[in-house]
A and B are shown apart, each in its own frame.
Chain A
């Protein structure tokens, strides 16, 4: 990481913790930055992050992958089926392999036959849904512990790590409620509390992607297939092969995301993905087709989901409202400094509305948190889409020698 980049990263992290800390102090809700919250947020974020990363691989090579949802579904099924019979690691492998089959199907339709990519992806989603429901009834109905819509439990566990020597003192520090310090302590402790090996693998896959796609000749060629395949072809890049590799790997990542979901809930269940493939796609756009931003988007989804689901005192959603308001004010302030008056006014008005809501209601229904990530994504797209830059030939069917 260059000096400038790491300075920006530290700056962003510092701002994020400060905002979280302000919110936690005002609401007095320790859950917002507690060890357990952060640890759980990582579990919720990882499958989404993997789907987003899968999207990056396909779209950087110029293939829009709406079929992520279907590939994830295949992954959940593969993990449930193989994991039940041969253990959890077989489940991981089968999830990846099933996802790869979905990716291969998309590559055949979209790359070889040049079918509209969104259409091909939609077809794959349909096919995956039907196939898994069909196979679930056939394979799991009579299996002990299984049912028509779910597999028997997956055998074995993925190892998880807890660094007691870090987690215990930091969690104690978190409970003291000191501004900034305690929140930072909770955040850090959460990273080392019941940390799944699969989460570590997810993290490594992000690092690997950043390196492979942006620092190697392989990555340059792959991205050139998504920016200008005709120019790439004229320089001797085997565009079709790169597209195939990227889309199949995309399927593998989505399949791994699906396997993560099944393993986290210890069974395969119909509908377990619940649109996470699409959410992954959103985080990818949110993150400007780059790993860092995509991960940030996935963590946002995971964090909000966690707070909604562990909401014991019905106060977490309220905390989220205040958090959102403070973030909106902060962005509004930045916009003012950049002399973007109209956007600034928009953000400040929205922020004020949320502050008003925060102080006028005693609690909020969980549905608010349910839709919050989607509204956030829309807001980000609405304000930043002029700055987002998808690969230039994203979604354009490519045929060798067929320049247009």
Chain B
């Protein structure tokens, strides 16, 4: 990668960030709030040790979700089903972990594997439907999300898996402390950073290695760039679709675990169910690159957390959701503009070189 390419790949997000900040400022002015107070309140609270710890924890979840989405993206597969895959994975993990009394390492390994297998299996339905029946994964995963929510509500409300964990909230039995992965208090003594933060770094490196240093990764990227070319050179595209979806689902199965094992210890009906969509947005921001995704996840989490005290300034914290939406749409558009300009400048430079050659002849 040369300097120019790094420059252009940073240019688009920088433009996006700038424009969405400007647009947010306009919105704030319109509602009569002080722009500088709001931004400085977000910055001051957002950079406090406690907020930074919360931010890294939330970013861990977002990172895993975006990674799951981007595995599919690399092959032009649109896994909108991360939501369904992770809620089922987290529920299965919670049920298994709460019934284990093993040393932490053994218990965690089993919980992780169960969550990954369940996530992969749920994604596998969409993969099978695509390969065997030609059903677009976009629509099948959306349907599977709804079905997953129904299944979970059934299991927790109507079977003995669910108990009343706190007042009027039904959830799975509490996981014993030996099965939890709480984390270490690095920045703020009261707010440990999830152990999963470190696990997800390892997963990020594994993702990079798999995609850029293995035969499978090469096939996957090749199929994503041109399915026909890949097929001609001997890649079995159906097998690739299934393996990719299963991998994506397996990572998706982990998305709920940082929160489950670091915080709640139970899967209740209040467990968040829309981190999958956040993952899509962050995968877009990070251009499916693990480092980019990590930065995107941190930015996203920063906006979520730092807006926590805005209501003191009389501004709804949802201003951060607006900023996130604006960032995504503007960044995506500027990526496209930058790409077009690149193609154009390459074409002109080739044309120039050709005319020079012709002139010589």
Contacts and interface: CB of A to CB of B under 8 A. Distances in A.
A228 B147 CA distance: 36
B30 to A, nearest CB: 10
Contacts of A275: 146
B138 A123 contact: no
Most chain A CB within 10 A, of B129, B142, B323, B340, is at: B142
A377 B336 CA distance: 34
Contact of B332 (A119, A128, A370): A119
Nearest to A399: B340
B143 A382 contact: no
Contacts of B138: 66, 118
A360 interface: no
Interface residues on A, range: 35 or more
A66 B141 CA distance: 13
Contacts of A126: 277, 281, 321, 324-325, 328
Contact of A124 (B320, B323, B329, B333): B329
B6 interface: no
A394 B16 CA distance: 28
Interface in B151-189: 151, 153-154, 157-158
B277 A122 contact: yes
A123 B143 contact: no
B299 to A, nearest CB: 14
Contacts of B321: 126, 129-131, 133-134
B318 A125 contact: no
Given A66-B138, A131-B322, A285-B139, A125 B333 contact: no
Given A120-B329, A122-B281, A113 B337 contact: yes
A105 interface: yes
A385 interface: yes
Contact of A371 (B146, B281, B324, B326): B146
A126 B154 CA distance: 28
Interface in B309-361: 316, 318-326, 328-329, 332-333, 336-337, 340
B153 A115 contact: no
A385 B135 contact: yes
A84 interface: no
B234 interface: no
B3 interface: no
A114 interface: yes
A116 B339 CA distance: 13
A378 B136 CA distance: 10
A287 to B, nearest CB: 13
Grouping DSSP codes into helix (H, G, I), strand (E, B) and loop, the A interface class, with mixed when no group exceeds half, is helix
B105 to A, nearest CB: 36
A112 B318 CA distance: 29
A109 interface: yes
A109 B332 contact: yes
Contacts of A118: 78, 138
A127 B325 contact: yes
A374 interface: yes
Interface string A366-401: 011011001101100111011000000000000000
B7 interface: no
Nearest to B138: A118
A137 interface: yes
Contacts of A119: 280, 284, 332
B133 interface: yes
B47 interface: no
B42 to A, nearest CB: 15
A130 B325 contact: yes
B146 A382 contact: no
Contact of A115 (B158, B323, B332): B332
A43 interface: no
A123 B318 contact: no
A378 B322 CA distance: 33
A386 B325 CA distance: 36
Given A122-B280, A134-B322, A278-B142, A367 B158 contact: yes
Nearest to B340: A114
B333 A371 contact: no
Most chain A CB within 10 A, of B139, B154, B326, is at: B139
B316 A137 contact: yes
Q: Which 7 pairs show the lowest CB-CB distances between chains A and B?
A: A130-B321, A127-B325, A371-B150, A134-B318, A137-B316, A367-B154, A126-B325
Interface of A: 66, 105, 109, 113-116, 118-120, 122-131, 133-134, 137-138, 275, 278, 281-282, 285, 365, 367-368, 370-371, 374-375, 377-378, 381-383, 385-386
28 contacts: A66-B138, A105-B329, A109-B329, A109-B332, A114-B340, A115-B336, A118-B78, A119-B280, A122-B328, A123-B281, A123-B328, A124-B329, A126-B324, A127-B322, A127-B325, A128-B325, A129-B325, A130-B320, A134-B316, A134-B319, A137-B318, A285-B139, A365-B154, A367-B150, A367-B151, A368-B154, A374-B143, A378-B140
